[in-house]
Chains A and B, each alone.
Chain A
């Protein structure tokens, strides 16, 4: 009972926090320089891990796919399966999970460190709203960087799939390119980017909330970073599943 009350309290605080972030993001002053700086930091932190995560996926789909498609004599069609899998599912999910792991943890750790070392109070005493100055730039950066990363993972996933299908697997390059986009529509690409922005939003908000509400010491900062990663990854996978089901249901 006590636990339930506390969860409700946290949920209420989170909702209020989200309201404050939303209001701060659309009313002046907006700290654009901080936002650009955060985008730069986050993009640099994410680009290599996200590449390393998606490249093997494209390769594995091609490797596994060829042997199965061959049973039906349909290996020319392989790329349509690869394209669908990468563009619709793997690319947005992997990009988002990596944003959660890298960007989410670094935002939560940065804000948490500022909090335990009194820098958040210092900002407030200098009449700078910490939500505006440190939370909003992190949230905006996640919302923008996550879809940009998924563009990268789209290209890389397809490229590594191509390497294992065409030069190594012996599939005709023309056929590969012809079928690559056969099963996907521009809407799929937009939905993928939209999902990434949505997940980036969730990562930025949760990281900001847990960072600002960190406990008292260095160990609590680690905990805030860790909690951010775990909760956002679970959230991403659940919401991704729900969105995919809903879109399939809607015939998209």
Chain B
């Protein structure tokens, strides 16, 4: 839940300090450092398979980097080991400040759409079932799946699942919302609707968003910070206007959909 009083206001939401992660001899993240201020909307671009999802997973401690620090509101998540009971408790306390939209939704198959979105509310809030009902209905209406409340995830299209997963990610008004490719699989109208919703949540609740995207229109519309990851390195990162103005070759290639450029198709 948004609780701006719990840490000093100027502590950044997220700081990555020289983070590296390899799987076997395949280096996925190679010394990535960045700072995301609270209340900002950061969009991370990058070709498939460069480690954007790995980066998000490091933020919530689902993966531990081999090197570097991952500070969330000043606390180093990378130093916590989920297998140890004391660390797990700390980690869970930090994770409660996150909402996460997984790349493929990760909705619970054996729960209805309604129960999926209600799940974090029932676990982590004291809301009455009545209040939960209203809130879930509101969230589902905002993402345009109100009519599917009682359906199961297997009965939905990919785009609908994604929107339900977004509704679940923002269910308990987290401080930081991580969105792994929210717009892929959505039609342009739905995608624009989702962008509006992100902007509105940002404006009204002050949520911080970290969004992974391939959609350059989306990046231009919502981002106040833009980063680009390619070949394990952060090739550019900074305020959106600045990054657009500097026009890094990799970003340029991405935006113009060119096949020739620094991004190698291997």
Contacts and interface: CB of A to CB of B under 8 A. Distances in A.
Interface of A: 23, 113-114, 117-119, 121-122, 124-129
A126 B102 contact: no
Contacts of A114: 108-109
Contacts of B98: 125
A126 B91 CA distance: 11
Given A118-B102, A118-B104, A124 B85 contact: no
* 6 residue pairs, one from A and one from B, having the closest CB atoms: A118-B106, A127-B92, A122-B106, A127-B95, A125-B100, A127-B96
Contacts of A121: 57, 62, 102, 106
A128 B123 contact: yes
A215 to B, nearest CB: 15
Given A23-B85, A119-B106, A125 B124 contact: no
Given A125-B62, A128-B123, A117 B92 contact: no
B224 interface: no
B262 to A, nearest CB: 31
Contacts of A124: 62, 82, 95
Nearest to A123: B108
Given A125-B95, A129-B88, A119 B109 contact: yes
A126 B106 contact: no
- Residue from A114, A124, A125 with most neighbouring chain B CB atoms (10 Å): A125
5 contacts: A113-B109, A121-B57, A121-B106, A127-B96, A129-B92
Contacts of A119: 106-109
Interface residues on B, range: 20 to 34
Interface of B: 57, 60, 62, 82, 85, 88, 92-93, 95-96, 98, 100, 102, 104-109, 119-120, 123-124
B174 to A, nearest CB: 10
B178 to A, nearest CB: 9
Given A118-B102, A119-B108, A129-B88, 12 more contacts: A114-B108, A118-B104, A118-B105, A119-B109, A121-B57, A125-B60, A125-B62, A126-B119, A127-B92, A127-B96, A127-B123, A127-B124
Name the prevailing secondary structure of the A interface residues.
helix
Contacts of B57: 121
A126 B109 contact: no
Given A127-B92, A129-B88, A122 B102 contact: yes
Contacts of A127: 92-93, 95-96, 123-124
Of A118, A124, A126, A129, which is in contact with the most chain B CB atoms at under 10 Å from its CB? Answer: A126
A16 to B, nearest CB: 8
A118 to B, nearest CB: 4
A44 B146 CA distance: 33
A121 B106 CA distance: 8
Contacts of A113: 109
Contact of A117 (B60, B93, B104, B123): B104
B264 to A, nearest CB: 26
A115 to B, nearest CB: 11
Contacts of B92: 127, 129
Contacts of B88: 129
Contacts of B82: 124
Contacts of B104: 117-118
Nearest to B94: A127
| Highest count of chain B CB atoms <10 Å: which of A113, A117, A129 | A117
A126 B60 contact: no
Contacts of A129: 88, 92
Nearest to A113: B109
A106 to B, nearest CB: 12
Contacts of B109: 113-114, 117, 119
A222 B104 CA distance: 21
A69 to B, nearest CB: 51
B108 A126 contact: no
Contacts of B96: 127
B85 to A, nearest CB: 7
Contacts of A128: 123
